[in-house]
Structure 1
Amino acid sequence: MTGLVIDNDDHRLIRESVAKIAAKYGHEYYADRARRGEHIGELWSELGEAGLLGVHLPEEFGGGGAGLTELTIVIEELAAHGMPLLLAVISPAICGSILAAHGSAEMKGEWLPGIADGSRKMAFALTEPDAGSNSHNVSTTARKDTDGWVISGGKYYISAADECEALLLVARDGDVATTGRNPLSLFVVPVASPGVTLQRIDTALTSPDRQFTVFLDDVRVGAEALIGEVGKGLRQVFAGLNPERVLAAALCTGVGRYAVAKARDYACQRQVWSAPIGAHQGISHPLAESHIAVELARLATMRAAELFDSGLDAAEAANIAKFAAAEAGLRALDQAIQTHGGNGLAREYGLADLWFVIRLMRTAPVSREMVLNFVAQRSLGLPDSY
């Protein structure tokens, strides 16, 4: 299918490289590993060896020296082959981007080459049960001691924590008493540290990347674990949060492309009363609308990535792209299931097992309600609601 997004030569080569690797694995591989509780190590390693996981990271630290636009293509193309990889949004995108922007030279040298080639992974630990969307209200504390920091608290819905060597963790200053906005700091915390405990959250997601509650009981880290400046964590974390929104959007548009393509093929092949079902407007029009919505979301997503790469304020564009893509991707998948009738729920058609992953994107990494708050207050200038 043709689309509204037109790649330049470099982008076309990246997309073709991802598609070639993805075609060797496909949705059946992804879903089978997820159902078995296994990871997708072979695919991950091959993507890393091809330079695709670190395509956006600095060349001097093993990356490709490109930008968020190029990583957006990687994430979307994987999802368009039925493999929406949450970890790809987390380790190279969020964590890699934050380390590249704010880590020390030593920290970049230690972590970025491994993140880029896929040999090392890092999870992002921000969310907490009682903080919700209010990142200022995190209760996990970091207290300075003689030779480093002592971290205590808990994190919730931390994706792929069991696959990762470390957490990029957000904590408030435990030595500062405040009733206002807490000063936050960022730390690299090894998952194997004494006092770190992972507890899996049982979800309906069919994904090789599982969800965890992380408990931190007086976890000691050295002074070198601090990322950037003390108390500047929330400002620093936005080096990763806008890319996170853009890449979540890419994941959704990729699934949307996958779903529309599957439904198109089925509608051309499936015949009832001697005519393909796609000849009926009750089938063709909803699929056409789904395609339109996905393509518009793709344009918004690429525009957000371009703004970020240009060093411009991409917050509004990233939020809009994430909102539009989550709605379009979910609608496309639901319509593809409907087009298949009862077969839409059969595992062999590879649709229904993606529903919860794409539905999650309406809630995470930022809920649609918080996007609407942002647009209402920042874009339209309406009174603050919180």
Structure 2
Amino acid sequence: MTTLLESDEHKSLREAVSAFARSHPRATGPVESRHFWQEAGKLGYIGVSLPEAYGGGGGGVTELSLVLEEMGAAGNPLLMMIVSPAICGTVIARFGTEEQKRTWLPGIADGTRLMAFGITEPDAGSNSHRITTTARRDAATGDWLLTGRKVFISGVDIADATLIVGRTEDARTGKLKPCLFIVPRDTPGFERRQLDMELHATEKQFELTLDDVRLPADALVGDEDAGLLQLFAGLNPERIMTAAFGIGIGRYALARALDYARERTVWKTPIGAHQAIAHPLAQAHIDLELSRLMTQKAAHLYDAGDDMGAGEAANMAKYAAGEACVKAVDQAVHTLGGNGLTREFGLATLITAARVARIAPVSREMILNYVSHQTLGLPKSY
């Protein structure tokens, strides 16, 4: 499936990724998922958005979101695509030191290294201004000391490091400002606890505890005084990639429902001939296509360097894709009836997975707040 916004190169990439992803069985466990990840890395799909100088493909979020969408449409959506290359890889490529780029980007690009991302906290939720994980300097050594908690952090157990969002105190004002730190997995004081999730996914979720985690001075990514600029450089791609994740899942579910509706015959007629079945599936397709157009717009704006325009479009794309994904999965399950809840057809697990696109990394309600305040100029209620 292509659109008028795509170049011939993008169409070729989409076709190649689709063929690759469909040649692999659905990854239902960590071993299969890891194998799929490694194979995708060897082919250059994981690092398609990262700079060529560090082993990437030299593309942008446009290409990376396309890759994730096609993986999802083939039944193999990789959640860590949103995290490792899109958030962490982007932030390091834009703001990291030369040493950080050489150390991390080649491995992220070819899939041999993974990086998780830690921003959400138990008491902060959607309000990133309330993050309490703090970083302070050790005056004697110049090291950083991080203390705090994070929750709902994906893939920490398989990641080589986690990009942690902390806050440092501004010496002039006493206010806390956000900063980013690379924390290797086995750093003393960096503890993790797996969360008991009903979500069926190969990537596990964790709560993190940082107890005076000591990091060298060069663990800081970018400028200590840059504040939100560096943070949102990763959050806009996160929203775009989450939209692609949702669109891919929605397309996969819709395709399964269409196959069933064409073949399942009741009273000598395929059920897809009945408008009660056909029209909701058509609506699901329309919603997915519309959300894809907004996702492509957001990706193009981001890759063009329009951070303000990309922020608005990325939020809209994430909202639209989340809604379209949930509706497509729900309708697909409903089309199959009881079969939609069996393991054989592989749709039931998508019911919870589809909710991820609505909830994370920011809820649809917070996106509506963003649009009403930033786009429409309406006053805040908080």
TM-score (norm 2): 0.96
For residues 6-31 of structure 1, the C-alpha deviation after alignment (integer angstroms, 9 at most, x for no partner) is 6322112211221222122232xx22
Q: Secondary structure at the match of 2:228?
A: helix
Q: Contact 2:170–2:177 at 8 Å: present in 1 too?
A: no
1:22 aligned residue: 21
2:34 aligned residue: 41
For residues 182-232 of structure 1, the C-alpha deviation after alignment (integer angstroms, 9 at most, x for no partner) is 211111011100111110001111111110001111111100101111142
Give the stretch that moved more between structures: 94-103 or 9-18.
9-18
1:242 aligned residue: 236
Question: Is it true that 1:122 corresponds to 2:115 in the alignment?
Answer: yes
1:160 aligned residue: 155
Q: Secondary structure at the match of 1:333?
A: helix
Residue type of the partner of 2:23?
A: K
Residue type of the partner of 1:99?
A: I
Cα deviation for residue 176 of structure 1 reads 5.7
Question: Is it true that 1:169 corresponds to 2:168 in the alignment?
Answer: no
Residue type of the partner of 2:18?
A: A
For residues 87-108 of structure 1, the C-alpha deviation after alignment (integer angstroms, 9 at most, x for no partner) is 1110010000000110011110
In structure 2, what is the Cα distance between the partners aligned to 1:365 and 1:76? 17
1:8 aligned residue: 7
Alpha-carbon RMSD across the aligned residues, in angstroms, is 1.6
Pairing 1:125-164 to 2, within 5 Å after superposition: 125-145=118-138, 146-164=141-159
Q: Secondary structure at the match of 1:188?
A: strand
Q: 1:225 to 1:359 in 2, by over 3 A?
A: same
Pairing 1:263-278 to 2, within 5 Å after superposition: 263-278=257-272
Q: Contact 2:151–2:206 at 8 Å: present in 1 too?
A: yes
Of 305, 308, 325, which residue of structure 1 is paired with 2:321? 325
1:353 aligned residue: 349
Cα deviation for residue 39 of structure 1 reads 6.1
Unaligned 5+ segments in structure 1 are none
In structure 2, what is the Cα distance between the partners aligned to 1:184 and 1:93? 19
Of 301, 304, 307, which residue of structure 1 is paired with 2:298? 304
Q: Contact 1:142–1:173 at 8 Å: present in 2 too?
A: yes
1:341 aligned residue: 337
1:74 aligned residue: 67
For residues 79-129 of structure 1, the C-alpha deviation after alignment (integer angstroms, 9 at most, x for no partner) is 101122111110010000000110011110110000000011100011100
Question: Is it true that 1:373 corresponds to 2:369 in the alignment?
Answer: yes
Cα deviation for residue 178 of structure 1 reads 6.9
TM-score (norm 1): 0.95
Cα deviation for residue 134 of structure 1 reads 1.0
Cα deviation for residue 350 of structure 1 reads 1.1
Cα deviation for residue 385 of structure 1 reads 2.5
Question: Is it true that 1:253 corresponds to 2:247 in the alignment?
Answer: yes
Pairing 1:180-329 to 2, within 5 Å after superposition: 182-312=176-306, 313=308, 314-329=310-325
In structure 2, what is the Cα distance between the partners aligned to 1:294 and 1:368? 16
Q: 1:221 to 1:373 in 2, by over 3 A?
A: same
Q: Secondary structure at the match of 1:203?
A: coil
Q: 1:56 to 1:287 in 2, by over 3 A?
A: same
Q: Contact 1:257–1:294 at 8 Å: present in 2 too?
A: yes
Q: 1:5 to 1:158 in 2, by over 3 A?
A: farther
Q: Contact 1:56–1:66 at 8 Å: present in 2 too?
A: yes
Q: Secondary structure at the match of 1:347?
A: coil
Residue type of the partner of 2:303?
A: D
Q: Secondary structure at the match of 1:263?
A: helix
In structure 1, what is the Cα distance between the partners aligned to 2:62 and 2:203? 24
Cα deviation for residue 233 of structure 1 reads 3.8
Task: Give the percent of matched residue pairs that are identical in Structure 1 and Structure 2.
Answer: 51
Q: Secondary structure at the match of 1:162?
A: coil
1:106 aligned residue: 99
In structure 1, what is the Cα distance between the partners aligned to 2:274 and 2:19? 34
Q: 1:272 to 1:3 in 2, by over 3 A?
A: farther
In structure 2, what is the Cα distance between the partners aligned to 1:17 and 1:193? 39
In structure 1, what is the Cα distance between the partners aligned to 2:362 and 2:61? 19
In structure 1, what is the Cα distance between the partners aligned to 2:80 and 2:32? 11
In structure 2, what is the Cα distance between the partners aligned to 1:116 and 1:320? 28
Q: Contact 1:373–1:385 at 8 Å: present in 2 too?
A: no
In structure 2, what is the Cα distance between the partners aligned to 1:278 and 1:343? 16
Residue type of the partner of 2:340?
A: G
Cα deviation for residue 41 of structure 1 reads 1.5
Q: Contact 2:169–2:177 at 8 Å: present in 1 too?
A: no
In structure 2, what is the Cα distance between the partners aligned to 1:154 and 1:177? 26
Give the stretch that moved more between structures: 232-241 or 58-67.
232-241
